[in-house]
Amino acid sequence: MSEIDYGNPDVIVIGAGNAASCSALSARQAGAVNVIMLEVSPEEISGGNGRFTGGGFRFPFGGIDDLVKLMPDLTDEELSRFEFGTYSEDDYFDDMGRTTNYRTDPDLCEILVKQSYPTMLWLRQNGVRFEPTFANSFNIDGKVKFWGGLACVMWGGGPGLMEMEHKACRNAGIKMFYETRARELLIDANGNICGVKVTHKGRTYEIRSKAVILACGGFSSNAEMRSRYLGPGWDLAKVRGSRFNNGDGLRMAMDIGAMSHGHFSGCHACPWDLNATPFGDYKVGDQFQKHSYPLGIMVNARGERFLDEGSDIRIYTYAKFGGIIMQQPGMFAWQIFDAKAIPLLRSEYRIKQITKVTANTLEELVKKLEGVDANACLREIHEFNAAVQVDVPFDPVVRDGRGTVGLKIPKSNWAHRIDTPPFEAYATTCGVTFTFGGLKISTSSEVEDVAGKPIPGLYAAGEVVGGLFYHNYPAGAGLMGGSVFGRIAGQSAAAHAAGRS
């Protein structure tokens, strides 16, 4: 077998997902002459978790003028029908604070919020295209109303994102080496990072460079690390995305004295089809998710509701509800809807690979819910129906306050009686998306050591970074964070390689 020539890179980027692509492109544009990316997966399934995403990016915008700069293809006719509203920097700060119980690292959060719109413009300038987030919209009186501050998604979703970013990297002369697993960081006698030890097809190589950027994800795919950090039971959870995010970046950096940071016992996990594949399926993408639960109820094996399905807009609850399903007996929950809600269900409820039952009576339905105490479940549905405030108008676009009265576990918004046949129910379990704990970085994306000093030549971006998310997460902030800090990491690494840092 012939040897691989990795060249003499100035900057090595580990990974080929969203954060890695932004890091590499930015390093190249900031003057690093030779930038390479090392990716453990084969080329045809590269792109990490990024490939599995819906491609939603969260950033502040003042109105349509900001959005037209990102989506210049929108026609006048569309602009007259689409109502995006606004999403201010203050809204973003509030969402980050509220979802993380105000634990988000204030310095990193400020950069995320303030740099996200400029970073979106930068992505657009580099050939990345966006479209409106139709999955977060409702048609009302001839208008398409978007909600939740998530205005744009990537053209072509996750696969489109990775295709466009990889194309931009290739056009910039960045070489990508696949099936190359980074194993160890190389340090010189002065404590500077000077390269990476990798394996490719069983052979070990030492690649020298002036700077290294870790953009190789968290530990979501690693059952051993999940149970070690997230806790018992998490080893049994399904993985929504890549099988390749095994915590290598964390391990390599912590082995040389990097500081850990953030919520190591926390992760993003959502309701996911009970019979989904153990890792993400490239053909199904994110469609195993089941995110219309605010329109119905969820019951566990005891036939009981166990959370407030309508406590907030879906994009502020889905990332923590997977963990709550994980804690239920048997690690599953059935989502139940009636004919009033069924037309409003998201597209992921119409795929072929789905665990679903239907019935024309509630008595018939509860008997079909495998693993559930049918009598208890029927009682629960009747109790729920009796508690719904039917006089409050239903509005799917805002927190409508149409809740329940007197239940031990309330439903705060969008409560419909489950009373109109046909009925549908969907079996879900916990799907882990990505992990929250990671490395401590400076505001320049430098990886810090346990004394709080930057490790010279080492940078990080994306899931491998800790401190942004705790407990929960506002949808679209993962890709945005990877792009913002990837862009900064590239600039810092290029400056370091040129001796300017």
User: By the criterion CB under 6 A, which residues form the site for ligand FAD?
Assistant: 14-20, 38-41, 46, 48-50, 52-56, 181-182, 215-217, 240-242, 244-245, 248, 280, 286, 433-434, 462-463, 476-480, 482
Q: How many CA atoms lie within 13 A of 140 on its CB side?
A: 12
Residues 210 and 10: beta-carbon distance below 8 Å: yes
- Residue 169 CB, shortest distance to ligand FAD, in Å, is 13
Question: Which residue, 17 or 466, is less far from ligand FAD as judged by CB?
Answer: 17
| Three-class secondary structure of residue 374 per DSSP | helix
274/299 with CB nearer ligand FAD: 274
Q: Please say which residue, 266 or 476, places its beta carbon nearer to ligand FAD.
A: 476
Parallel/antiparallel/unpaired status of strands 152-154 and 56-57? antiparallel
Query: What is the closest distance, in whole angstroms, from the C-beta atom of residue 314 to ligand FAD in the complex?
Result: 13
Nearer to ligand FAD, 133 or 300 (CB): 133
Work out how close the CB of 47 gets to ligand FAD at its nearest, in angstroms, rounded to a whole number.
6
The edge-to-edge listing of strands for the beta sheet with 193-200 is 180-187, 193-200, 203-208
**Least distance to ligand FAD, CB of residue 371, Å:** 25
Q: Give the residue with the Cβ less far from ligand FAD, 291 or 305.
A: 291
Report, in Å, the least distance between residue 453 CB and ligand FAD.
Answer: 24
Closer Cβ to ligand FAD, 84 or 384, answer by number: 84
Identify whether the C-beta of residue 149 lies closer than 8 Å to the C-beta of residue 91.
yes
User: What is the smallest separation between the CB atom of 415 and ligand FAD, expressed in angstroms?
Assistant: 27
SS3 439: strand
- State the nearest-atom distance from the C-beta of 55 to ligand FAD, in Å: 6
Least distance from ligand FAD to the Cβ atom of residue 252, Å: 8
Distance, CA of 500 to CA of 220 (rounded, Å): 36
CB of 478 to ligand FAD, least distance (A): 3
Residue 262 CB, shortest distance to ligand FAD, in Å, is 14
Task: Tell me whether residue 158 or residue 396 sits nearer to ligand FAD (CB atom).
Answer: 158
Q: Which is nearer to ligand FAD, 262 or 476 (CB)?
A: 476
Q: Got the DSSP string for 223-244?
A: HHHIIIII-TTGGGSEESS-S-
Q: Return the structure tokens found at 269.
A: 């996990």
Q: Which amino acid is at 214?
A: L
CB atoms within 10 A of CB 228: 16
Question: Which residues in 31-66 are b (16+ Cβ under 10 Å) and which e?
Answer: ebebbbbbbbbeeeebbbbbbbbbbbbbbbbeebeb
What is the Cα–Cα distance from 209 to 201, expressed in whole angstroms? 22
Please say which residue, 17 or 310, places its beta carbon nearer to ligand FAD.
17
In whole angstroms, the minimum distance from the beta carbon of 165 to ligand FAD comes to 10
Q: Tokens at residue 328, please?
A: 């239920």
Give the start-end residues of each E strand in 347-461. 356-359, 423-435, 438-439, 446-448, 454-460
- Cβ proximity to ligand FAD, 153 vs 497, nearer residue: 153
Reading the block at residue 433, the tokens are: 């998306």
Closest to ligand FAD by CB, 175 vs 340, is: 175
Segments in 327-476 forming alpha helices (H): 362-368, 374-387
Taking the complex as a whole, how short is the minimal distance between the CB of residue 452 and ligand FAD, in angstroms? 23
On the CB side of 413, how many CA atoms lie within 13 Å of its CA? 16
How many residues appear in the chain?
A: 501
In terms of Cα–Cα distance, which of 322, 335, 332 is closest to 294?
Answer: 335
Question: Which residue lies nearer to ligand FAD by CB, 280 or 437?
Answer: 280
Other CB atoms within 10 Å distance of the CB of residue 321? 25
Amino acid at 282: Y
- For the chain, how are helix, strand and coil distributed in percent, rounded to 5? 35, 20, 45
Strands (E), 174-235: 175-177, 180-187, 193-200, 203-208, 211-214
